[in-house]
Amino acid sequence: MSVSSPKDKYLAVWLIFFMLGLGTLLPWNFFMTATAYFTSRLKEPSLVDRSANQTEAAGDSRGVLEAKFNNVMTLCAMLPLLLCTCLTSFLHSLIPQRLRVMGSLVIIMLVFIVTVILVRVPMEPLSFFSVTMVKIIIINSFGAVLQGSLFGMAGLLPASYTTPIMSGQGLAGTFAALAMICAIASGSELNDAAFGYFITACGVIFLSILSYIMLPKMFYQQRKRRTEEEQNTVSLKQKDGKDPADDQTRPQKVSMLKIFQKIWLLALSVCFTFTVTIGTFPAVTADTRSSLADGGSWELYFIPVSCFLLFNLCDWSGRSLTAFCMWPDKDSLILPVSIACRVVFIPLFMLCNVHPRHHLPVYFYHDGIFIAFMVVFAFSNGYLASLCMCYGPKNVLPHEAETAGAIMAFFLSLGLALGAGLSFLVRALV
């Protein structure tokens, strides 16, 4: 009984998967949420010296590096994420899981230590831009290895163990947004606030490393033994039954193509979900301005609160809801249809009060409308994506579950990369 029904005493394994999920996306979210700090260091001296009147007359007074930062940052994050997730899907059996997870966390922490140091180092805008993009490429490359490894591990456990990873990833953005808001509220200079902000990220990554070290390996191994025993039991029944040839129906070597044929709809669904999300967030949504022109403090907090914090809170709520409710079921057409309907958010956000703009008029000017769109947009992203990720590994045989989890992680990353490319087009059309 102890082998067939492994116990997670005090929810220790659940909480560790949650912490590792947090560590997976926290680095990217800390970079994405700190756009005010990064763009402030990309301002060209000639633009800084302009008077207020000249700035207003110029329309988009930002330099090239500052104006393109969000788009290039997203692209430099998502393409390496896609490539390394693909490599992880094919090579996960050749590299030990411990090396993949621990190595990724250590390298990500080292990048953040470098980021903290560079806050105090003066640099030319182009050099700073280049170094920042290299750091983003590194953290997302190793974040992809970490993410693929975690979903593969979770695929060998009950479906409920995918939820803490998704929930932890959702909290990563919320944590980063709250940290940035606290940094702004402290009244410190932007560089001082950024220094404390990135130090906080180092601390959380360190806690993720400790969590992985403390992961009760026996529980994970119990699940593997349970899967092997189930396979052996089926094989014995087949040998004692009708046809000895049936013994070959459960091969130890899995075919990625055959597994994909079982989960292709779920894989494409999670891909499309994130294509729509990253196609607009943050490239379009972070350029939305408050309708309160003289809003004072609200104008300062509008993007950190209404864009980043609200998105991540609602996304986290959606991801976490799958721990209590998993509707529609994995075979229902309602799930892919609901995901397809999210494409409507692209034109809706394009018609909000986004500036600078050159082609489209503003139809949704009020802050309340933008906030309402953001709530539904973020919640649906978290809930529908989490459903897909939970269902994927459960659509295959037990010994195929780890590979199915890695394939789902690849299509999640593919959606992020496609969304990053789409964001250039969407932002240019506004």
The reported pLDDT for the residue numbered 55 is 44
Length of the chain counted residue by residue: 430
List the one residue out of 415, 164, 86 whose CA is nearest residue 275.
Answer: 415
The reported pLDDT for the residue numbered 330 is 85
Of the CA atoms within 13 Å of residue 71, those in its CB half-sphere come to 15
258 Cβ neighbours under 8 A, 6+ residues apart: none
How far are the Cα atoms of 270, 343, 382 from residue 146, in angstroms, in the given order? 18, 29, 20
Supply the CATH classification number for the domain 9-46+60-224+255-429: 1.20.1250.20
- Helices in 60-189 by DSSP H: which ranges? 64-91, 97-119, 125-155, 163-185
Contact 23, 204 (CB under 8 A): yes
Residue 10 region, left (φ>0) first, then alpha (ψ -120 to 50), else beta?
A: left
The reported pLDDT for the residue numbered 102 is 92
Domain residue spans of the chain: 9-46+60-224+255-429
Token pair in block for residue 96: 């030990």
Token pair in block for residue 430: 């506004």
Tokens 């669904």 identify what position? 269
The reported pLDDT for the residue numbered 224 is 57
Return the SS3 of 354. Answer: strand
List the one residue out of 32, 66, 77 whose CA is nearest residue 311.
Answer: 32
List the one residue out of 174, 172, 176 whose CA is nearest residue 200.
Answer: 176
Of the CA atoms within 13 Å of residue 221, those in its CB half-sphere come to 4
The reported pLDDT for the residue numbered 249 is 47
How many CB atoms lie under 10 A from the CB of residue 429?
14
The DSSP call for residue 288 is: B
The DSSP call for residue 281 is: T
Distance CA 117, CA 120 (A): 6
Predicted confidence pLDDT, tens digits, the chain (430 residues): 344 445 666 677 888 888 888 888 888 888 888 888 888 898 876 655 554 444 444 445 567 888 888 888 988 988 888 888 788 767 767 888 888 889 999 999 999 999 999 999 999 999 999 999 999 999 999 988 888 888 777 777 776 777 788 788 878 888 888 888 887 787 777 788 888 889 988 999 999 999 888 876 655 555 555 555 556 655 555 555 555 444 444 445 678 889 999 999 999 999 999 999 999 998 899 889 998 866 567 887 898 899 999 999 999 899 889 888 889 988 889 999 999 999 999 999 999 999 888 899 999 999 999 999 999 999 999 999 999 998 998 888 887 887 888 788 889 888 988 998 899 899 999 9
According to DSSP, the residues that pair with 354 across neighbouring strands are 288
Return the SS3 of 296. Answer: coil
Q: What is the pTM of this model?
A: 0.76
The DSSP call for residue 145 is: H
Question: How does 69-96 read in b/e, with b if 16+ C-beta sit within 10 Å?
Answer: bbbbbbbbbbbbbbbbbbbbbeebeeee
Contact 22, 172 (CB under 8 A): yes
According to DSSP, the residues that pair with 352 across neighbouring strands are 364
The reported pLDDT for the residue numbered 192 is 84
The reported pLDDT for the residue numbered 142 is 92
